[in-house]
């Protein structure tokens, strides 16, 4: 498949210049849910988990587009990957391989917490058994979604995306094909109505 492992920390955005302003709150750690209809086929009805968003740009992973069986050698991580499939993380650098793990945090009294704040990139070249805290779940993505300075801000202002709180169960869902509707339908008010919007808006 020609895929290369790519720690998220090594992913960068290529810009001519970096904006000095950052007009909207960061979406890091939240979901971007594509508002219907989104004309870009790469993101139609997509759900993106945001890894970073600042004045230099934004980066996230589409979490509801499975792309096929996991056909790469990552034996050390195999027991943490369920289902054994790969996900299309976005249209940017599709040969880049990115791991996303649920790394529990431990409170001083020994309580184990597995909240969405514990979801973070993992280095697939590392042996998980040597990590200070081993992930309990891992998902593998090829490619990612990336935006330049203020590009995502502009899309948000145009209403292309709905920013919503993320759950751990969203990132590691076993039903990715239905995630877009699931996330919208659990919201309050008019946002939940979008879950029943037909794929072809002309039928609405």
pLDDT in tens, 34-80: 998 777 888 999 999 999 999 999 999 999 999 988 877 888 999 99
pLDDT in tens, 81-101: 988 899 999 999 999 999 999
Strand spans (E) along the chain: 4-5, 30-34, 47-54, 57-62, 66-69, 81-88, 92-102, 105-106, 112-113, 119-122, 137-147, 161-165
Number of H helices, E strands in the chain: 3, 12
DSSP 171: H
Q: For residue 9, what pLDDT is reported?
A: 52
- Burial (Cβ within 10 Å: 0-12, 13-18, ≥19) of residue 179: buried
pLDDT in tens, 147-156: 999 999 999 9
Q: For residue 70, what pLDDT is reported?
A: 80
Query: Tokens at residue 67, please?
Result: 């792309």
The CATH architecture annotation of domain 30-196 reads 3-Layer(aba) Sandwich (3.40)
Q: For residue 5, what pLDDT is reported?
A: 58
């Amino acid at each position: 498949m020609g895929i290369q492992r790519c720690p998220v920390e090594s992913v960068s955005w290529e810009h001519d210049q970096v904006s000095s302003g950052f007009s909207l709150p960061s979406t890091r750690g939240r979901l971007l849910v594509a508002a219907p209809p989104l004309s870009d086929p790469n993101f139609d009805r997509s759900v993106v988990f945001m890894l970073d968003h600042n004045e230099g740009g934004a980066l996230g992973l589409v979490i509801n587009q499975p792309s096929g069986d996991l056909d790469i050698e990552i034996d050390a991580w195999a027991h943490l990957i369920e289902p054994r499939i790969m996900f299309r993380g976005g249209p940017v650098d599709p040969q880049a391989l990115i791991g996303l793990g649920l790394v529990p945090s431990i409170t001083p009294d020994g309580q184990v917490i597995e909240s969405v704040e514990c979801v973070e990139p993992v280095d697939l070249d590392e042996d998980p058994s040597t990590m200070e805290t081993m992930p309990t779940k891992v998902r593998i993505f090829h490619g990612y979604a990336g935006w330049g300075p203020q590009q995502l801000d502009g899309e948000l202002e145009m209403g292309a995306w709905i920013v919503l709180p993320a759950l751990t169960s969203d990132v590691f869902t076993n039903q990715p094909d239905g995630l877009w509707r699931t996330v919208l339908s659990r919201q309050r008010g008019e946002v939940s109505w979008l879950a029943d919007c037909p794929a072809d808006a002309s039928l609405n």
